[in-house]
C-alpha cells in the first residue's frame, strides 16, 4: 500500500478516521506515530498528504488523519483495454495489474472461445472486482479507478456499445497472433488514446476479427510466442508505453 | 501446452512414448488420433513435429509419437534478468512468465530489503523451479530453458560472479524508481544483449545502487508508478522488446 485511498465522503471537516485494513497497515507496516505524514488520495480525486493526529496502535486499530489535498487530479491513462472475458482467477490479476500499470477503462465482452461458465463468476459484480482495482492503485500510487464496462453478448457490444466509444481513440489495436504487422507498423504518430483489444486463450475467431476490422481495428502480433492473456496485457501495455514515449 | 517438450534421451529410434501429463493433455485436451501431427520440441534443442503412431485414450493414457526435428535451435532471447530474490509465490510466477516472454538467463541474489526467510524456499531447488520454466516454454512454444544462477550473498555476487558475466552484454540496465532517466535515454543503439536488474519491493538501497553503478549499470525508471516485481518484469521486458525493435 504505497498510498492510502479514501472515499471522498470519508473526509469530514478536513479529517478522516480509519478503522479498517488501512489503519492496520499504517500501524503494523508503516508504524506511524502522531505527527507523521503519509501519502493519501481521494478515490477518483486528487492526491495529497495525511498527518497523523491520533492513533490507537492495538486492536481495534485506529488512525485519524488531517488531510491536505492537491488541486489537480492525476491524468487519465492514455490506454484502455478490451478483453474477451478471461478465466476469473486471471481476470482478478488483470484488474489489479491493469490498475497498477494505468488504464482508463476496461471493456469486457464474450467471444466464441470464452467458456460460457466464466460468465457466472461473482467477480463480475462491482463490489467484487472494485477491491482488486483499488489494490492496483494503492500499489502504483494512483487514484483514478479504471471504468469497467461489461457486455455479455458480443453482437450488441460490437454493434451498439463500441461504435459510440471509438471516437475517443486515435488508435484501435487488436493483438492477434496470426497478424504479420508489428506494433511499430501500426503506430505511426504519437497516440492520443489507444483502445487495445486482447482475445481469449486460443484467440478471436475469424468472424470476430472481421467485426473488429469493420470497426477500424488494426491487428498486430508480438511475434511467434503465444502468451497467456494476463502476461499479454502487461507486456503489450509496456510495449505501448515505450512506443508512445518514442514520439516525445 | 502449445508445444510438447521432450527430454533428448526420451526419443529412442525416432519415437517417444509419453505416459505422463503430456499424454493426458494430448488425449483429453487436444483429442489426438493416430495419424495426427503435433508440435514438439527437444528441451534445449530444436523444435519439430510428432506424428501420433499409437495411443491409449483411457487411463493410463499413452501416446507414441514419431519425431521429426528441424535442423536449428531457436535463438537465445537477447534479454537476461537479474533479480533480488522475490517472495517465493511471486518468483514462481516470474519463472514461468519470464520463460514465456523469453529470457536467456535469470540471476538471483540477495539485497538488503529481501526478507531473509525467502532463502529457505524449496522453490530455489532446480527440481522445484524447472517445471515452472518448462510451463512458460510450453505456453510460448519455445525449447530454450533459461539458465538460472543463484548466489545468496550480494557481495560475492557483485564482486566475483557478475564481473565474469558482464562482457556478454551491450547494455547493463537497472530499474530504479528514483532515477530520472527513461529507457529511451539509456538505449541509443540496437542492443545486442541486455542484462536487466530489478530490485526487491522497496527498491535497492544506496550501497547496492553504487555497486551496480561501479559495474557499469545505467539506471532508469518508468515514471512515478510503483509496480510489484512480477508486474515490473513483464512490463519492462515488453518495453525493452519494443525499444529493441525500434532500431530495426
Is residue A27 located within the same domain as residue A118? no
Tell me how far CA of residue B2 lies from CA of A73, B26, B37, B100, in angstroms.
Answer: 44, 11, 13, 11
| B239/A241 CB distance under 8 A | yes
The minimum CA-CA distance between B237 and chain A, rounded to whole Å, is 7
pLDDT value for A14: 95
Answer yes or no: is pLDDT of B211 > 90. Answer: yes
How many residues does this entry show for chain B?
248
Contacts of A248 in chain B (CB under 8 A): 184
pLDDT of residue B135: 97
A167-183, pLDDT tens digit by residue? 999 999 999 988 999 99
Q: What pLDDT score was predicted for residue B178?
A: 86
| A24 DSSP 8-state letter | H
**Which residue does chain A place closest to B247, by CA atoms?**
A184
Kindly state whether residues A176 and A113 are assigned to the same domain: yes
User: Do B175 and B226 fall within a single domain?
Assistant: yes
**Residue A224 in contact with partner chain B when CB distance is under 8 A:** yes
Cα dihedral value A221, A227, A230, A233, nearest 10: -20
What CA–CA distances, in Å, run from A206 to A32, A102, A195, A203, A211?
56, 30, 20, 9, 9
Q: Which domain holds residue B65?
A: 4-69
User: Average pLDDT over chain A, rounded to whole?
Assistant: 96
Identify whether residues B59 and B112 lie together within a single domain.
no
Spatial contact of A221 and A179, defined as CB atoms under 8 Å apart: yes
Cell of A208: 470476430
Search chain B and give the residue with CA nearest A243: B242
Would an 8 Å CB–CB cutoff place B219 in contact with chain A?
no
Do B167 and B228 share a structural domain? yes
More confident site: A41 or A223: A41
Q: Are residues A170 and A239 in the same domain?
A: yes
Question: What value does the mean pLDDT take over residues A121-145?
Answer: 98
Q: Is residue A74, in this structure, part of any structural domain at all?
A: no
- The separation between the first and the last C-alpha atoms of chain A, rounded to the nearest angstrom, is 31
pLDDT digits (tens, 9 = 90+) for B124-138: 999 999 999 999 999
- Summarize pLDDT for A151-161 with one digit per residue, the tens: 999 999 999 99
For residue A48, pLDDT beyond 90: yes
CA-nearest of B39, B37, B36, B30 to B70 is B39
The pLDDT assigned to A75 comes to 87
**Which residues between 96 and 115 in chain B have a beta carbon less than 8 angstroms from any beta carbon of chain A?**
97, 100-102
Chain B nearest-CA residue for A185: B246
pLDDT (mean) for B165-178: 95
Per-residue pLDDT for B75 more than 90?
A: no
Q: Are residues A233 and A131 in the same domain?
A: yes
Instruction: State whether residue B225 sits within 8 Å of chain A by CB.
Output: yes
Tens-digit pLDDT profile for residues B34-71: 999 999 999 999 999 999 999 998 899 999 999 999 88
Alpha helices in chain B (DSSP H): 21-24, 88-101, 126-140, 154-156, 162-165, 183-186, 206-215, 229-245
Q: Does B221 lie at the interface with A, CB-CB under 8 angstroms? A: no
**Domain holding B29: CATH number?**
2.40.240.20
- Residues B117 and B127 sit within 8 Å (Cβ to Cβ): no
Q: How many domains, in total, are found in chain A?
A: 2
Residue A11, pLDDT > 90, answer yes
- Residue A95 is inside which H or E element, if any? helix A88-101
Report yes or no: B178 at the A interface, CB cutoff 8 Å: no
Q: Is residue A175 part of a domain?
A: yes
* B228, B234, B243: residue with CB nearest A242: B243
Say if residue B72's pLDDT is above 90.
Answer: no
Q: Is residue B169 part of a domain?
A: yes
The whole-angstrom distance between A54's CA and the closest CA on chain B is 27
Q: Is some CB atom of chain B closer than 8 A to the CB atom of A228?
A: yes
C-alpha cell at B2: 502449445
Q: Using a CB–CB cutoff of 8 Å, tell me whether A235 touches chain B.
A: yes
Residue B248 pLDDT grade (very low, low, confident, very high; cuts 50, 70, 90): confident
Q: What is the mean pLDDT of residues B105-121?
A: 98
> CB B222: neighbour CB atoms within 10 A?
21
Chain A positions touching B141 (Cβ under 8 A) are 224-226
Give CA separation, B27 vs A18, B128, B131, in Å.
55, 26, 21
B74 occurs within a structural domain = no
Give B163-224 as a 3 state SS string. HHHHHHCCEEEEECCCCCCCHHHHCCCCCCCEEEEECCCCCCCHHHHHHHHHHCCEEECCCC
Quick one: A140 and A177 in the same domain? yes
Q: Name chain A contacts of B241, Cβ cutoff 8 Å.
A: 222, 235, 239
Looking at A17, A44, A69, which one is the last position of a domain?
A69
Q: Classify each residue of A72-92 as buried b or exposed e, where b means 16 or more C-beta atoms within 10 Å of its C-beta.
A: eebeebbbbbbbbbbbbebbb
Does the pLDDT value for residue B74 go beyond 90? Answer: no
Question: If pLDDT is split at 50, 70 and 90, which confidence band does A207 have?
Answer: very high
Q: A184 and B235 in contact by Cβ < 8 A?
A: no
Q: State the pLDDT confidence band at B168, using cuts at 50, 70 and 90.
A: very high
- Does residue A139 sit at the B interface (CB-CB below 8 Å)? yes
B207 with B84, same domain: the answer is yes
Q: How many CB pairs below 8 A link A and B?
A: 92
Which of B35, B69, B103 corresponds to the end of one domain?
Answer: B69
CA B158, CA A81: separation in Å to the nearest integer?
A: 40
Q: Both B128 and B238 in a single domain?
A: yes
Give the pLDDT band (50/70/90) at residue B120: very high
Which residues in chain B touch residue A142, judged by CB atoms under 8 angstroms apart? 225
Q: Classify residue B243 by burial, with Cβ atoms within 10 Å: 0-12, 13-18, 19+.
A: buried
Is position B109 within any domain?
Answer: yes
Same domain, B51 and B84: no
Which of A22, A44, A69 terminates a domain? The answer is: A69
Contact A238 B243 (CB under 8 A): no
For residue A217, being part of any structural domain is answered with: yes
The answer to whether B231 contacts A184, with C-beta atoms less than 8 Å apart, is no
Name every chain B residue with its beta carbon within 8 A of the beta carbon of A243.
Answer: 242, 246
Rounded to the nearest integer, the mean pLDDT of chain B is 96
Strand partners, B38: B50
What is the pLDDT at residue A248?
82
Decide if pLDDT at A71 tops 90.
no
User: What is this model's ipTM?
Assistant: 0.96
| HSE toward the beta carbon, residue A198, CA cutoff 13 A | 26
Q: Whole-angstrom Cα distance, residue B201 to residue A235?
A: 20
User: Can you give the CATH number for the domain in which B218 is found?
Assistant: 3.40.1280.10
Per-residue pLDDT, averaged over A231-238, amounts to 98
Residues A8 and A51 in one domain: yes
Distance CA A134, CA A116 (A): 27
Q: Is residue A112 situated within a structural domain? A: yes
User: Nearest-CA residue of chain A relative to B1?
Assistant: A226
Angle between helices B229-245 and A229-245 (to 10 degrees): 50
Q: Which of A182, A224, A235 is nearest residue B234 as measured by Cβ atoms?
A: A235
Q: Which pLDDT value is given to residue A129? A: 98
pLDDT at B96: 98
* B230-245 pLDDT tens trace: 999 999 999 999 999 9
The pLDDT assigned to A89 comes to 96
The arrangement of strands across the sheet holding B105-109 comes to B147-151, B105-109, B79-84, B194-198, B171-175, B218-220
Amino acid at each position: 500500500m504505497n498510498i492510502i485511498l479514501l472515499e471522498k465522503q470519508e473526509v469530514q471537516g478536513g479529517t478522516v478516521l480509519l478503522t479498517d485494513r488501512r489503519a492496520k497497515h499504517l500501524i503494523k507496516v508503516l508504524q506511524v506515530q502522531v505527527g507523521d505524514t503519509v501519502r493519501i488520495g481521494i478515490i477518483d480525486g486528487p492526491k495529497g498528504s495525511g498527518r497523523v493526529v491520533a492513533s490507537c496502535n492495538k486492536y481495534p486499530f485506529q488512525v485519524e488523519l488531517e488531510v491536505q489535498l492537491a488541486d489537480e487530479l492525476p491524468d487519465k491513462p492514455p490506454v484502455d483495454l478490451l478483453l474477451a472475458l478471461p478465466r476469473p482467477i486471471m481476470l482478478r490479476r488483470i484488474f489489479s495489474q491493469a490498475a497498477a500499470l494505468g488504464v482508463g477503462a476496461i471493456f469486457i465482452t464474450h467471444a466464441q472461445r470464452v467458456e460460457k461458465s466464466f460468465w457466472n463468476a461473482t467477480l463480475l459484480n462491482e463490489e467484487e472486482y472494485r477491491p482488486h482495482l483499488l489494490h492496483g492503485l494503492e500499489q502504483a500510487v494512483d487514484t483514478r479507478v479504471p471504468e469497467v464496462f461489461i457486455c455479455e453478448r458480443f453482437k450488441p457490444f460490437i454493434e451498439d456499445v463500441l461504435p459510440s466509444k471509438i471516437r475517443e481513440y486515435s488508435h484501435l489495436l487488436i493483438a492477434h497472433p496470426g497478424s504479420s504487422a508489428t506494433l511499430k507498423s501500426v503506430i505511426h504518430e504519437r497516440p492520443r488514446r489507444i483502445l487495445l483489444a486482447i482475445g481469449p486463450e486460443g484467440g478471436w475467431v475469424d468472424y470476430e476479427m472481421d467485426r473488429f476490422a469493420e470497426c477500424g481495428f488494426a491487428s498486430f502480433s508480438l511475434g511467434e510466442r503465444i502468451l497467456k492473456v494476463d502476461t499479454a496485457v502487461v507486456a503489450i501495455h509496456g510495449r505501448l508505453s515505450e512506443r508512445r514515449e518514442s514520439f516525445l
